[in-house]
Amino acid sequence: MDKIDRKIVNILQKNARASLKDLSKECFISSPAIAARISKLERSGIIEGYQATINLEKINFHVKAFIQVQLEPRQKKEFYPYIQQIPNVIECNCVTGDFSEVMEVVFPSTTDLDDFINDIQQRFGKTSTQIVFSTSVDHRGVQLNEPKE
């Protein structure tokens, strides 16, 4: 990736709907050159996709939480397919520490969250949950800078 590719990626992370014309103006190269670079970034897997950011509260998801789950290694074969099919799980990571998985979840109510936690505990075992009161830094892109020499 060169300086122009990094600039394109930075702009698209802030606004995936930026037009080729706008990108062209920002990067000082032609729109066809921008389109070719974006295609190359997509083919190489640097750009994996585009999505809309949704205000969850406006669609009645008022509770966000992080749930840690303590799994035995043998349970992962059952846990991963199960968790993949739960739409309220917006992210799940295998991590180090006392708990092997940490999930970010959203639910309309604490009752719905409680039902989910109870199901997880019955199927897989111990959990630890933190309910989010507020978010000071929401999901955002990673700023790509010039590499240090």
The stretch 42-57 carries a mean pLDDT of 93
Q: Are 34 and 8 in contact (CB under 8 A)?
A: yes
Report pLDDT for 141.
85
For 61, other C-beta atoms within 10 Å of its C-beta total 18
Q: What is the mean pLDDT of the chain?
A: 95
The stretch 28-56 carries a mean pLDDT of 95
CA distances from 35 to 18, 28, 46 (A): 12, 13, 15
pTM comes to: 0.85
Considering the chain, what percentage of its residues have pLDDT values greater than 70? 99
The stretch 71-80 carries a mean pLDDT of 96
Report pLDDT for 80.
97
Report pLDDT for 83.
97
CA distances from 50 to 17, 46, 72 (A): 9, 12, 35
